[in-house]
Every structure is written in structure tokens, then in C-alpha cells.
Amino acid sequence: MNTKSLLAVYPGSYDPVTNGHIDIIERGRRLFDRLIIAVLHNPGKRPLFSLDERLEILRELYSGDSNITVESFDGLLIDYAVAREANVIVRGIRYVSDFEYEFQMALMNRRLHPQIETLFMLPSESYSYVSSRLVKEVFQFGGSVKGLVPECVERRLQARPPFMNTSR
Ligand code: PNS
């Protein structure tokens, strides 16, 4: 019997987390003993939600789950995964167009540290067109994002200063 405990890291910007991410998290948690949702801290980018907000949202969603942890990381993802002694990096693939970049990233990460596998997972087809970027754009121009993001994200979007949704 294989008693090895499997730890997966699911990295991303999560600006904001969408129901597509949630779908992958729900699938991932069934496969792994532990799942770390790793939020990228990239000081070179100006996200809509600050790192603290992104962590807060994810912790709000997963605070009751003993096998899910929410953390931030900076620098190289693979270094972070090694430091956490993860076995697997999980990435969601929506369409073929995602694959090109993900393929390069996975092979680069493997070159840097061959022991860690990248696992591509498919979200439900109902989320295959959902991205954080489109969610922000739709919201910014007054469109509804209901059903595309968790309710707590929708509430936080609505609570943002009006310059973010001037067409409403
Ligand atoms: O949600 P995203 O923006 O698609 O996530 C991309 C992420 C965070 C997984 C990727 O940008 C990343 O791993 N960044 C950390 C820096 C790094 O390791 N770069 C080299 C990748 S081979």
C-alpha cells in the first residue's frame, strides 16, 4: 500500500479568484491529501485586489478546510514548491490557447526541479471562458459577474470606489 501523503500547490494571481479556480480547487482536493493555494505576490504588477485582500478572500472561502491552506509566495514558483516539499503543481487549462504558455512553464519548472510534477486539470466546461481578466473588465463596464465569481468577490467588487465601475 502506498502511504505517501501527496501535497499539491495550486499557484496563481487570483485577482480575483473565479468560480473556474474554485472548480479546480474542488477537483484537486479530492486527489491530494493537502492543497496549498499559493497567491503570487508580484510587486511589479498593480493588481485590482491587494495581496492581503486576495489572501483574505481565499481564507474566507477555505477557513474551515483542514486540508487546504492559503499562502502567498514571491520569486520562482518552483523554489516555493520545493521549500514546501510539494509533490505536484496544479494548473488549470481552459482552452488550447492556455496550453502553449502552460506547457513552457511546466517544462521550465521541470528543468529547474525534475522531482516536482505539473498536473494540468480541466475545469467544468461551464467555466472554460471565465478568467480573472474578463471578470474585471465585464464588471468595470457595468456587466454582471454573478455566477462567475464567489459571492464574497462580487460583494467586494461592488464595494470598490466608483472609478472602478464608472458605467454603472
Ligand atoms: O494566475 P496566473 O497569473 O496565470 O498565475 C501565473 C503564475 C503565478 C503561476 C506564474 O506567473 C508564476 O509561476 N510566477 C512566479 C514566477 C516564476 O516562477 N516564473 C517562472 C515560471 S517557469
As a whole number of angstroms, the distance between CA 100 and CA 88 comes to 19
Mean pLDDT computed over 9-16: 98
Percent of the chain with pLDDT over 90: 88
Please enumerate in sequence order all residues whose Cβ is within 8 A of that of 13, keeping only pairs 6 or more positions apart, or say none.
39, 40, 42, 45, 47, 54, 132
Torsional class of 133: left (φ above 0), alpha (ψ -120 to 50), beta (otherwise): alpha
Whether the upstream peptide bond of residue 16 has omega within 30° of 0, thus cis, is: yes
Band the pLDDT of 1: cuts 50, 70, 90: low
Among 13, 14, 82, name the best residue to mutate to test ligand 1's pocket (greatest count of ligand atoms within 8 A of Cβ): 13
Helix pair 151-158, 51-62: axis angle to 10 deg: 150
Q: Is 39 domain-assigned?
A: yes
Q: Is 68 domain-assigned?
A: yes
As a dihedral over the C-alpha atoms of residue 144, residue 51, residue 108, residue 33, rounded to 10 degrees, the angle is -90
Q: Whose CA is nearest to atom 17 of ligand 1?
A: 76
Q: Is 102 domain-assigned?
A: yes
pLDDT tens figures, 97-136: 999 999 999 999 999 999 999 999 999 999 999 999 999 9
Q: Is 98 domain-assigned?
A: yes
Whether the pLDDT of residue 163 is over 90: the answer is: no
Q: Is 164 domain-assigned?
A: no
Q: How many domains does the chain have?
A: 1
Q: Which of 94, 113, 128, 131 is catalytic?
A: 94
Please confirm, yes or no, whether 41 is among the known catalytic residues: no
What distance in angstroms lies between residue 40's CA and the mean position of ligand 1's atoms?
A: 7
Give the structural domain span for 90. Answer: 7-158
Q: Is 101 domain-assigned?
A: yes
Q: Is 25 domain-assigned?
A: yes
Q: Is 1 domain-assigned?
A: no
CATH number, position 72: 3.40.50.620
What pLDDT score was predicted for residue 168?
41
